């Protein structure tokens, strides 16, 4: 029968989502554990959140990460959107093949290679490692993710709208900002969020390209995890998971609302 | 005048991101290659020769003569590196296959779900992808440890009386890769399966084809673009993976990403780690190029 959702499918989805979510749920639960042992439950406590807030090194690293992520995501969104426009609007220019190659290659490039190569570049040009180099590194790989997200939206975009604006005398720049950008805006925002979380998340590239005084949160978490699992790290992780989850859910709801509004407008 | 501006504008839209990626993505590879031909030195930067402008043309030529392929010979003479490359490829291939086996039923279930439910399911698959990779790998340490939650659970059920040793073995690396990369597999599979016309299956079944044969003869071949894209998205980064083998695999799991990391951060041997990176890149060039061609083709079909 068409459209029946077989028992097999329900079981597959239930098991699949259990596999995806159980580790995260357990991590969150044990962040509220009284005991220092992460695997033995000894009662509810928020003391690890207090310990986390009092951990100076951790908080400094969080602040560095927040600034790097904000700055790199913003620049990456501008550059990535430009790259997406270049790839979809200009089908013929010299070096286009190379350009599309270097836009897509960072998506699958192992991080150790990207990190090492950027570090060697900074050393070769005698650029002091620190906040700036981590930010540049993050812009470089996350702009490619932005480009892919925005490009997939631009492909489905009805070009005749833009052409109409141009025919009516708008300059290309004006046509872009008044016609194209509002339509692709959800993708641009999604791209920014993706770039932000990629930066928030990156351990390998930051370890290669950062210098003294620019320890990011993942670097700090990694060095503590290597010393042993502590509920404090569970607490930090829970906060990060909460931030990202709220961000994604709010964005998708906002997106949905916009779609509804647009449909209502179209109906009227 | 407006035309002039628009011409400059279009040039800028191409030139700015192009230049950025040339300088920060492409040029660094040439530097990596150059340093892979250098020798280690106790200096900063820790390699020789260093090309400087002050030495002029003769210095440049002299420095060129100092470059050699010694590091590459070293990579092939020392069994450690060869084994690390091979075991990375094997681990990545096996985990890609496992991810496909785990991801396919999920993607299929999503594609056949009621249309109203699909956006929610899609978001549920994407959400873990947004949360930190490092944290998701870390979560498994507490589960897989000898006194961890999995062993506690299995002992509680009476299935085992000795704790299973999973952490710090290759099995833990497989679990880590499958878990971390699952969304990359499910999304392209779902995209391919959702587009499929399921009346084909009904037609086959009406004609007496058993469901499993119908799956192999119709569904699977039609989902092949998604299978290829998903496998590439898992396999290529998994070969060079560092965090998962480091945190879950222990010292016995040999993977090239970890070898490169150790060579760089512990041995401080920049030329050898560069050579390791160049060879890794050469190994991955074929799958990356294949992935890009497949992507370009898919995009053309879409537009």
pLDDT for res A2: 39
Contacts of B18 (CB under 8 A, 6+ apart): A83, A86, A95, A99
Domain with A190 in it: what CATH number?
Answer: 1.10.3720.10
Whether A256 is in a domain gets the answer no
- Burial (CB < 10 A; 0-12, 13-18, 19+), residue A133, is buried
With beta carbons under 8 A apart, name residues in chain B contacting A105. 25, 288, 292
pTM of the prediction?
A: 0.87
Contact A222, A36 (CB under 8 A): no
* Residue ranges making up the domain that contains A129: 56-228
Residue B191 and residue B118: Cα distance in Å, rounded?
A: 12
Contacts of B296 (CB under 8 A, 6+ apart): A100
- Give buried/exposed letters for A82-101 (b at 16+ CB in 10 A, else e): bbbbbbbbeeeeeeeeebbb
Q: Chain A interface, mutation test: which of B110, B139, B175, most A Cβ atoms within 10 Å?
A: B139
Whether A265 is in a domain gets the answer no
Whether B237 is in a domain gets the answer yes
**Region label for B268, one of left (φ > 0), alpha (ψ between -120 and 50) or beta (otherwise):** left
Domain with B264 in it: what CATH number?
Answer: 1.10.3720.10
- Which residue, A240, A248, A265, is CA-closest to A66? A240
Whether B47 is in a domain gets the answer no
Whether B62 is in a domain gets the answer no
* Residue ranges making up the domain that contains B212: 69-302
Q: Chain B interface, mutation test: which of A15, A27, A28, A243, most B Cβ atoms within 10 Å?
A: A27
- Can you say whether the dihedral through the CA atoms of A38, A39, A43, A44 is positive or negative? positive
| Each residue's pLDDT tens digit, A95-111 | 888 898 889 888 888 89
> How many structural domains are present in chain B?
1
- Give buried/exposed letters for A215-248 (b at 16+ CB in 10 A, else e): bbbbbbbbebbeeebbbbbbbbbbebbeebeeeb
Ranges A241-250, B50-59, B89-98, B255-264: which has the least confidence? B50-59
Query: In the structure, what pLDDT confidence band is assigned to residue B51 with cuts at 50, 70 and 90?
Result: low
Residue A42 and residue B155: Cα distance in Å, rounded?
A: 19
Please tell me which residue, B111 or A253, carries the higher pLDDT value.
B111
The residue whose two tokens read 């100092």 is B66
Chain A, 65-124: which have a CB under 8 Å from a chain B CB? 79-80, 82-83, 85-86, 88-90, 93, 95, 99-106, 108-114, 116-118, 120-121, 123-124
| Each residue's pLDDT tens digit, A31-54 | 898 887 766 788 888 888 998 899
> How many structural domains are present in chain A?
1
């Amino acid at each position: 029968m068409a459209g029946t959702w077989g028992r097999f499918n329900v079981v597959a989805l239930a098991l699949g989502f259990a596999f995806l979510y159980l580790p995260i749920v357990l991590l969150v639960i044990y962040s509220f554990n009284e005991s220092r042992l992460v695997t033995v439950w000894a009662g509810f406590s928020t003391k690890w959140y207090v310990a986390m807030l009092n951990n100076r090194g951790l908080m400094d690293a969080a602040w560095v990460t927040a600034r790097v992520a904000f700055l790199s995501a913003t620049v990456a969104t501008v550059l990535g959107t430009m790259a997406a426009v270049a790839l979809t609007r200009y089908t013929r220019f010299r070096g286009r093949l190379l350009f599309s190659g270097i836009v897509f290659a960072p998506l699958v490039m192992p991080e150790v290679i990207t990190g090492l190569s950027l570090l060697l570049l900074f050393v070769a040009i005698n650029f002091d490692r620190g906040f700036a180099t981590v930010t540049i590194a993050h812009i470089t790989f996350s702009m490619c993710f932005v480009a892919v997200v925005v490009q997939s939206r631009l492909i489905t975009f009805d070009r005749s709208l833009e052409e109409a604006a141009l025919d009516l005398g708008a300059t290309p720049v004006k046509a872009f900002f008044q016609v194209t950008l509002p339509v692709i805006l959800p993708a641009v925002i999604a791209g920014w969020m993706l770039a932000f979380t990629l930066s928030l998340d990156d351990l390998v590239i930051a370890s290669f390209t950062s210098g003294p005084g620019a320890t990011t949160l993942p670097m700090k978490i990694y060095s503590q995890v290597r010393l042993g699992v502590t509920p404090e790290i569970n607490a930090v992780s829970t906060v990060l998971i909460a931030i990202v989850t709220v961000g994604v859910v709010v964005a998708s709801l906002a997106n949905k609302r916009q779609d509804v509004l647009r449909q209502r407008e179209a109906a009227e | 005048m407006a035309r002039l501006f628009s011409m400059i504008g279009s040039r800028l839209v191409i030139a700015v991101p192009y230049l950025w990626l040339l300088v920060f993505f492409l040029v660094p590879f040439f530097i990596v290659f150059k340093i892979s031909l250098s020798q280690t030195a106790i200096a900063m930067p820790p390699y020789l020769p260093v090309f400087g402008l002050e030495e002029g043309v003769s210095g440049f030529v002299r420095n060129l003569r100092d470059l050699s392929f010694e590091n590459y010979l070293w990579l092939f003479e020392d069994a450690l590196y060869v084994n690390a490359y091979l075991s990375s490829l094997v681990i990545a291939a096996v985990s890609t296959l496992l991810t496909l086996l785990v991801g396919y039923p999920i993607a299929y279930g999503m594609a056949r779900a009621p249309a109203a439910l699909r956006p929610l399911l899609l978001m549920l698959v994407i959400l873990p992808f947004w949360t930190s990779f490092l944290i998701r790998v870390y979560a498994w340490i507490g589960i897989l440890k000898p006194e961890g939650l999995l062993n506690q659970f299995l002992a509680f059920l009476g299935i085992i009386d000795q704790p299973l040793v999973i952490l710090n073995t290759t099995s833990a690396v497989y679990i880590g890769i499958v878990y971390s990369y699952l969304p990359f597999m499910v999304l392209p599979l779902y995209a391919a399966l959702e587009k499929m016309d399921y009346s084909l299956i009904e037609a086959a079944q009406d004609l007496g084809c058993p469901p499993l044969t119908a799956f192999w003869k119709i569904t699977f071949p039609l989902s092949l673009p998604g299978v290829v894209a998903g496998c590439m998205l898992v396999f290529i980064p998994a070969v060079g993976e560092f965090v998962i083998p480091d945190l879950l695999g222990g010292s016995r799991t040999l993977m090239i990403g970890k070898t490169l990391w150790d060579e760089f951060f512990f041995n401080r041997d920049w030329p050898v780690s560069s050579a390791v990176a160049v060879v890794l890149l050469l190994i991955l060039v074929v799958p990356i190029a294949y992935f890009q061609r497949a992507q370009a083709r898919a995009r053309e079909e879409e537009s």
